[in-house]
A and B are shown apart, each in its own frame.
Chain A
Amino acid sequence: MTTTATDLVPFDEALERYDPVMGLEVHVELNTATKMFCGCPATFGGAPNTNVCPVCLGLPGALPVVNGKAVESAIRIGLALNCEIAEWCRFARKNYFYPDMPKNFQTSQYDEPIAFNGWTEVEVDGETYRIEIERAHMEEDTGKSSHVGGATGRIHGADYSLLDYNRAGIPLIEIVTRTIEVPGEKAPAVARAYVQQLRDLVLALGVSDARMDQGSLRCDVNLSLKPKGATAYGTRSETKNVNSFRSVERAARYEIGRHAAILDAGEKVVQETRHFHEDTGTTSSGREKSDAEDYRYFPEPDLAPVSPSRMWVEELRGTLPEPPPQRRRRLQAEWGFSDLEMRDTVGAGALELVAQTVSAGAAPQAARKWWLSELARRANEQGVELVELPITPEQVAQIQGLVDAGTVNDKLARQVFDGVLAGEGSPAEVVEARGLAVVSDEGALSEAVDRAIEANPDVAQKIRDGKVAAAGALIGAVMKDMRGQADAGRVRELILGKLS
């Protein structure tokens, strides 16, 4: 059974009859210096198959050794999600054949995760929702296949495939929620807020770059519907590798509509993995997941068990950043934001960006203004997240600094944003290169005012007659003459001085 976009039941209508049940699996790629089980650099990029060794290539005889830093990161993530930390746990082998998996098994944790039974709270539209965390476990990433030829970029129909094992063995933490049951209309936004908050959390922990666009933070959205009032869960779909916060929300909305259409037609939802398509906002069938898929998990005999001492765990607890809800409340108080301003900031995924901009010296309201208006508009136009814009919070603070110093006005500042976003350099370099600085040369300004008075004798006379409001027309003429690069306040002073 496959459905197309035209079969979707509209979101609101679907929620009249069904309640969504979600589960979210987030993979966080750790930013450790080396891979999970060997000494190869765990860096992003690099020429294919250069960051490899006998261990991560799975050569005969090679053995894994656990990266202690990765265990530390896993424990800190677990603690930040209020999890219990296992006193003793093991890795397991997940057996299946695939060319990008060097050993044809993935070394992962299975029934003995390092962290389990946790929770976190997210905020949507001012409401708080508690998300239960089932587990956070350690595993290794696979290599990367590129399928060449064929229409879809999938293995099916490809002429050949290229394999890059640089990514093989990069440490991952998989964070799995328990089922999330929140009011249906909030479900997609809650999913998004949760992923956003996880990202902020791992960034604050300093354990990952958490770049969804680069795949260092990946989310699978598991979703099923149950008829209103029913208690039994329906069959779920697993939408894989949803690569932006916005997509998390869109994928959940899409799947709600798709499942509703299937159920309305009296048909059965197929348990399968699905791929999300950023361009159309739709999902399509991946592979069917049946009971026949048997990973034959068993404890990894090549690795000693991991048994973090309680003392170490408590030591790590002492290194945790402030929990997100407290942090939000504290920042709101410090910044003097209204509830609405705070909600918008959080909702736009701009909380950490604003915080970093404030840290870099900008006033909170100014930081909020730039991120939620000027930059939000641009991100929206480009269909990207704020964080993906090629501008840093430090640069935003520098631009605000230029405004505060009177070097540019708000209007010129927008051109500075254009320049920085276009990759023309730092704000100062853009001002310099584009010649955007406000003209503070009194002589040039005075001459421009004189020209405006001469060109507009009628207006000048009105001002002389005491109609000060008419000065606006002359200011406009001067600003035009100066191509905007003048301090409007100073121009006004000069005009009134000359005509009084």
Chain B
Amino acid sequence: MTDLISLNAAGLADELASGGTSSAELTRAYLDRIEAYDTTLHAFLHVDAEGALAAAHEVDRKRAGGEELSPLAGVPIAVKDLFCTVGQPTTCGSRILEGWVPPYDATVVSRLRRAGLPILGKTNLDEFAMGSSTEHSAYGPSRNPWDTERTPGGSGGGSAAAVAGRLAPLAIGTDTGGSIRQPGALTATVGVKPTYGGVSRYGIVALASSLDQAGPVTRTVLDAALLHEVIGGHDPMDSTSIDAPVPPVVEAARRGDVSGLRIGVVKELGGEGFQSGVQARFEEAVELLVGAGAKVVEVSCPSFVKALATYYLVLPSEVSSNLARFDAMRYGLRVAPEDVDDPSAEQVMAASRDAGFGDEVKRRIILGTYALSSGYYDAYYGSAQKVRALVARDFEAAFEQADVLVSPTAPTTAFKMGEKLDDPLQMYLQDVATIPGNLAGVPGISVPAGLAEDGLPVGFQLLAPLQADDRLYNAGAALERLLLEKWGGPLTPPEVMA
């Protein structure tokens, strides 16, 4: 089985197409891996062996019948537990949704099903995707396959740990401030945040509506592109979805040619505050690209220094409203207040929200409620919107000088469990380089860039203009190829590997 497990998704797709294996065999192999190693990694909150195998058999039957199948048909996948899935619980890592089984599928999930990807289960995350370590999950943290004493990043640490630990060849995440890219960096996986509106948000439990974007979590850039094609494209159920064809991402990932490409190193997204090993691997990667024909320019985006503060006004504001629906009236946890006879609906709402939400969620709800309050709105939410416009303008100006922008994905390598848990600001700083992309809606990718002085993975971030996602895949694939040549093979985590 190790043969199958060592293959990336594109390789598995070829095996399936040539009859070298079946989807059922492959799915079984991954379910076995999950059974063996997920007690350690805790990447999954729910595993659906029965559903995954049924989907696998269905694909095998279709393939045997000569039906035309999607390129990734039969390759199993893990889905972040923020997506609505019929037949599987969707908890968002929160007590307040414990046991809730949605009556409908998110658009991304129905596209996966239609394309014949068996869904192995739902992956762990910080509660409602709020956090950078999965330590805010109400069901316990996930662990980093590179060092199980360390976090895999977050919020999508479960998806990243699953792919890095070879518990799934593919996974889906969501990225609101870096929740796909930062775990990608910390686990040496590829993570893509497509252009805002490039992938439907319908059925993804909202963190911050204007920032949330679903995307691939994979081992290779090509795998990410193949998955991007499956989940991307216009959805009439999401009014913020872009009504245009998916950019030619697969073609770009296969091309991987940076000759003549202008690479903009963003002055504000590096240097001070970035771990030296992280900075070193980043600079070496830039050199590799230059060696392959790319041109480097330094660009300055002055508003980016205010991006983190802006983000922590926009996001909590939307959170305070988006999470208002969890009121115990229609679904989810319901708690009667203690010491109250005959409680009112309002008292039940308050007691349930108090019991159902964790500290980080409460912190952000309170922040956002305050920021939107009458008398404070202009100073906080209003100002944040203005800075947000400046960030977008800085991107536009930078993309006049460069075709893609680059930076380290995260300022540090994977940190120890508990290290930042009591210091929200330190935790928030993990997303300092990824947040500007969310504020402006531009696409970004994190590609593994080697190991830092501490032996832990470093991520290399590429950012492209709106709807130019293909540029990420082109440059990302080029860098990936150059690094593989240099290393003589892919980076694999030392632990939990059979």
Judging by beta carbons under 8 Å apart, are B330 and A57 in contact? yes
**Min CB distance, B382 to chain A, in Å?**
9
Does A60 sit at the interface, judged by CB under 8 A?
A: yes
State which of B140-148, B279-287, B370-378, B402-410 sits at the interface with chain A.
B370-378
Bound complex: CA A60 to CA B81 (Å): 12
Specify the chain B residue showing the minimal Cβ separation from A95: B321
State which of B112-120, B237-245, B251-259, B393-401 sits at the interface with chain A.
B237-245
Does A303 sit at the interface, judged by CB under 8 A?
A: yes
Bound complex: CA A397 to CA B374 (Å): 57
* Cβ contacts A58-89/B at 8 Å (1 or 0 each): 11111111100000000000000000000000
Q: A294-B374, A296-B320 in contact; A63/B330 too (CB < 8 A)? A: no
> A95 — which chain B residues lie within 8 A by C-beta?
320-321, 324, 372
Judging by beta carbons under 8 Å apart, are A62 and B202 in contact? yes
Judging by beta carbons under 8 Å apart, are A302 and B240 in contact? yes
Judging by beta carbons under 8 Å apart, are B324 and A65 in contact? no
Give residues 307-348 of B contacting A (CB, 8 Å): 317-318, 320-321, 324-327, 329-331, 344-346
Bound complex: CA A64 to CA B203 (Å): 11
With beta carbons under 8 angstroms apart, the residue of B97, B202, B321 that contacts A296 is: B321
Judging by beta carbons under 8 Å apart, are B329 and A163 in contact? yes
**Min CB distance, B15 to chain A, in Å?**
34
> B372 — which chain A residues lie within 8 A by C-beta?
95, 296-298
Judging by beta carbons under 8 Å apart, are B373 and A61 in contact? no
State which of A100-108, A205-213, A403-411, A412-420 sits at the interface with chain B.
A100-108
Bound complex: CA A95 to CA B202 (Å): 21
With beta carbons under 8 angstroms apart, the residue of B205, B239, B369, B381 that contacts A60 is: B205
Does A301 sit at the interface, judged by CB under 8 A?
A: yes
With beta carbons under 8 angstroms apart, the residue of A58, A66, A294 that contacts B239 is: A66
Q: A296-B374, A298-B372 in contact; A99/B329 too (CB < 8 A)? A: yes
Judging by beta carbons under 8 Å apart, are B205 and A99 in contact? no
Bound complex: CA A296 to CA B330 (Å): 23
Bound complex: CA A302 to CA B92 (Å): 19
Q: How large is the interface on A (under 10, 10 to 19, 20 to 34, 35 or more residues)?
A: 20 to 34
Judging by beta carbons under 8 Å apart, are A61 and B106 in contact? yes
Q: A63-B237, A65-B237, A302-B240 in contact; A58/B345 too (CB < 8 A)? A: no
Judged by DSSP, the binding face of A is: loop
Does A161 sit at the interface, judged by CB under 8 A?
A: yes
Bound complex: CA A58 to CA B323 (Å): 11
Q: A95-B324, A97-B327, A105-B324 in contact; A59/B102 too (CB < 8 A)? A: yes
Judging by beta carbons under 8 Å apart, are A61 and B103 in contact? no
Does B122 sit at the interface, judged by CB under 8 A?
A: no
Judging by beta carbons under 8 Å apart, are A60 and B97 in contact? yes
Q: A65-B237, A302-B239 in contact; A103/B84 too (CB < 8 A)? A: no
> A63 — which chain B residues lie within 8 A by C-beta?
201-202, 237-239
Does A93 sit at the interface, judged by CB under 8 A?
A: yes
**Min CB distance, A101 to chain B, in Å?**
9
Specify the chain A residue showing the minimal Cβ separation from B200: A63
Judging by beta carbons under 8 Å apart, are A301 and B325 in contact? no
Does B349 sit at the interface, judged by CB under 8 A?
A: yes
Give residues 271-315 of A contacting B (CB, 8 Å): 291, 294, 296-298, 301-304
Bound complex: CA A163 to CA B331 (Å): 14
Does B204 sit at the interface, judged by CB under 8 A?
A: yes
**Min CB distance, B344 to chain A, in Å?**
8
Q: A59-B103, A63-B239 in contact; A103/B205 too (CB < 8 A)? A: no
**Min CB distance, B442 to chain A, in Å?**
17
> B239 — which chain A residues lie within 8 A by C-beta?
63-66, 302-304
> A336 — which chain B residues lie within 8 A by C-beta?
none
Judging by beta carbons under 8 Å apart, are A59 and B210 in contact? no
Bound complex: CA A155 to CA B206 (Å): 31
Does B236 sit at the interface, judged by CB under 8 A?
A: yes
Specify the chain B residue showing the minimal Cβ separation from A54: B104
Bound complex: CA A64 to CA B202 (Å): 9
Does B209 sit at the interface, judged by CB under 8 A?
A: yes
**Min CB distance, B107 to chain A, in Å?**
9
> B373 — which chain A residues lie within 8 A by C-beta?
294, 296
Count, chain B residues at interface, CB 8 A: 45
Q: A60-B97, A61-B106, A63-B239 in contact; A298/B381 too (CB < 8 A)? A: yes
Specify the chain B residue showing the minimal Cβ separation from A293: B374
> A65 — which chain B residues lie within 8 A by C-beta?
236-239
Bound complex: CA A64 to CA B321 (Å): 15
> B320 — which chain A residues lie within 8 A by C-beta?
95, 296
Does B90 sit at the interface, judged by CB under 8 A?
A: yes
With beta carbons under 8 angstroms apart, the residue of B100, B203, B330 that contacts A102 is: B330
Q: A66-B239, A296-B373, A301-B318 in contact; A58/B325 too (CB < 8 A)? A: yes
Bound complex: CA A57 to CA B374 (Å): 28
* Cβ contacts A374-410/B at 8 Å (1 or 0 each): 0000000000000000000000000000000000000
Does B44 sit at the interface, judged by CB under 8 A?
A: no
Residue among A65, A105, A163, A296 with most chain B CB within 10 A: A296
Does B83 sit at the interface, judged by CB under 8 A?
A: yes
Judging by beta carbons under 8 Å apart, are A302 and B209 in contact? yes
Judging by beta carbons under 8 Å apart, are A60 and B327 in contact? no
> B83 — which chain A residues lie within 8 A by C-beta?
61
With beta carbons under 8 angstroms apart, the residue of B103, B208, B381 that contacts A54 is: B103
Judging by beta carbons under 8 Å apart, are A61 and B84 in contact? yes
Give residues 342-361 of A contacting B (CB, 8 Å): none
With beta carbons under 8 angstroms apart, the residue of A61, A97, A302 that contacts B205 is: A61
> B84 — which chain A residues lie within 8 A by C-beta?
59-61
> B327 — which chain A residues lie within 8 A by C-beta?
97, 99, 104
Judging by beta carbons under 8 Å apart, are B237 and A104 in contact? no
Bound complex: CA A102 to CA B100 (Å): 17
Specify the chain A residue showing the minimal Cβ separation from B314: A301
> B202 — which chain A residues lie within 8 A by C-beta?
61-63
> B330 — which chain A residues lie within 8 A by C-beta?
57-59, 102
Judging by beta carbons under 8 Å apart, are A62 and B317 in contact? no
**Min CB distance, A406 to chain B, in Å?**
61
Judging by beta carbons under 8 Å apart, are B210 and A99 in contact? no
> A105 — which chain B residues lie within 8 A by C-beta?
321, 324
Specify the chain A residue showing the minimal Cβ separation from B106: A61
> B329 — which chain A residues lie within 8 A by C-beta?
99, 163
> B102 — which chain A residues lie within 8 A by C-beta?
54, 59-61
Give residues 164-217 of B contacting A (CB, 8 Å): 201-206, 208-210
With beta carbons under 8 angstroms apart, the residue of A54, A58, A62, A304 that contacts B240 is: A304
Bound complex: CA A301 to CA B201 (Å): 12
> A303 — which chain B residues lie within 8 A by C-beta?
239-240
Give residues 210-265 of B contacting A (CB, 8 Å): 210, 236-240
Judging by beta carbons under 8 Å apart, are B369 and A296 in contact? yes
**Min CB distance, A144 to chain B, in Å?**
14
Residue among B204, B318, B329 with most chain A CB within 10 A: B329
**Min CB distance, B125 to chain A, in Å?**
14
Q: List 8 A-B contacts (CB under 8 A).
A: A59-B331, A104-B324, A291-B374, A294-B373, A297-B372, A301-B209, A301-B318, A303-B240
Write the residues of chain B forming the contact surface with A, with a CB cutoff of 8 angstroms. Answer: 83-84, 90, 92, 97, 100, 102-104, 106, 201-206, 208-210, 236-240, 317-318, 320-321, 324-327, 329-331, 344-346, 349, 369, 372-374, 377, 381
Given contacts A297-B372, A298-B372, 4 further A-B contacts (CB under 8 A): A59-B102, A60-B84, A65-B237, A163-B329
